Amino acid sequence: MAYPGQPYPGQPYPGQPYPGQPYPGQPYPGQPYPGQPYPGQPYPGQPGPAAGYPGQPGFPTAHPGQPGPAATYPGQAYSGWHDPAYGLDPADALVTPPGAGLGGWFTRCLGAVRRGWHLLLPILVLTQVLPAVVLSVLGLFFDPSARWEADIASDSAALPANFWVDSALWIGPLVAGSLLFGLVQCLGWAAGTWVIARQAAGEPVGLGAAFQYGLRRALGLWGWLLIFTVILTVGFCLCFLPGIYAAFALAMAGPVYLFERRDPIGRSHRMLRDRLGLLLGRVALMIGVVIGIAFAVSVVESVARLPFGVTPMDSVGTAVGVVLVTTVAAVLALPAHLAQLVGLVVTYAEQRAHEGPVNSGQLAAELG
């Protein structure tokens, strides 16, 4: 029984809402308070879904009047507007961002050639083509194979006369020349890498400045090249397959030295282990192009040398002819040198993009 003025059980006091009914001014369940957004609706001044918080890296925001792109996390493929603070630009001229695929890599290789061919070609002619011509001529001059064939025809059971002396006189100059011209080739690789990186970053370049940089880095790169050569030689002597693996494992060692100048062998091998398919595919494609061009040039050179006989250096006329053929063949092989240089630099830049934020400007600065 209720006292006078007291409500019966279950009946609310005067002014009190019935159970389940909100107080005056209070929203019903699921209804937002005045000024509060509905679920999924942003608060005033808060960016909506797919837009990043201002200034937060990895979440690019849109310029006024530009639609905001979807949030992008490090290592995820990029689309839409780029936040320069993060360091990965999908339109970077040198760095292929993760997710761009083989098309993005190939586009950047072609871009490097278009931007720098007028500087890269003279660099490669002076440091790759010219040494190749000199070594080929040295090999022809000291080649004793014609005398050996005559001696073997007369007595196939014995070694040719003066075999060991002739071998030393033939191989010795080639080894010495390879060591000397290897230093020149390292100068060209360093100079070409400098041109590619700085042009991609929009920085000024010149032939003289490129050779100056190449001179600074050539000796160190040459020293590592000798180590790489020993490793590859031992690998190919061990049933050939270890040599193939070593060639892929050391593919990035040259760029690693030029850009990072530390542990080129270990860093290059880790890149192969961490991204085996990616690096293997890029390097295999590049090696295939180089071998294809070299094979075609070798066939043309061999056919063109036939009219000059097996001893072309015995007379002035045939010597001049075979030197001209050798020079033309070396020039025809120029695209192979260009493909190797550009392919290695672009592949290294792509590997760096998979490790963390990087762009052309940073890579150009790292060269020093």
Under 8 Å CB-to-CB from 120, ≥6 apart: which residues? 113, 192, 195, 196, 338, 341, 342
The reply to whether 272 falls in a domain is yes
- Whether 292 is covered by a domain: the verdict is yes
Say whether pLDDT at 13 is over 90: no
pLDDT of 101 above 60: yes
pLDDT surpassing 90 at residue 42: no
Q: Is 245 a domain residue?
A: yes
Average pLDDT, integer, range 74-78: 38
Region of 263 on the Ramachandran plot (φ > 0 left; ψ -120 to 50 alpha; else beta): left
> Does 67 fall in a domain?
no
If one compares 154 and 103, the residue with the highest pLDDT of the two is 103
What pLDDT does 156 receive?
Answer: 78
Residue 260's CB is within 10 A of a number of other CB atoms, namely 13
For the segment 168-183, the average pLDDT, to the nearest whole number, is: 93
Give the pLDDT of residue 43.
45
Candidate from 172-176, 194-198, 340-344 with smallest mean pLDDT: 172-176
Q: Quote helix, strand, coil % in the chain, to nearest 5.
A: 65, 0, 35
Is 312 domain-assigned?
yes
pLDDT at 278: 95
Structural domain containing residue 197? 101-144+174-367
Instruction: Tell me what percent of the residues of the chain surpass a pLDDT of 70.
Output: 76
Q: Is residue 338 part of a domain?
A: yes
Is 313 in contact with 285 (CB distance < 8 Å)? no
pLDDT, position 16: 52
Residue 196 contacts residue 94 (beta carbons within 8 Å):
yes
In a domain, 3, yes or no: no
Asked if residue 28 is part of any domain, the answer here is no
Q: At what angle do helices 334-355 and 101-124 cross, to 10 degrees?
A: 130
Per the structure, the count of domains in the chain is 1
Q: Residue 288 pLDDT more than 50?
A: yes
Report pLDDT for 47. 45
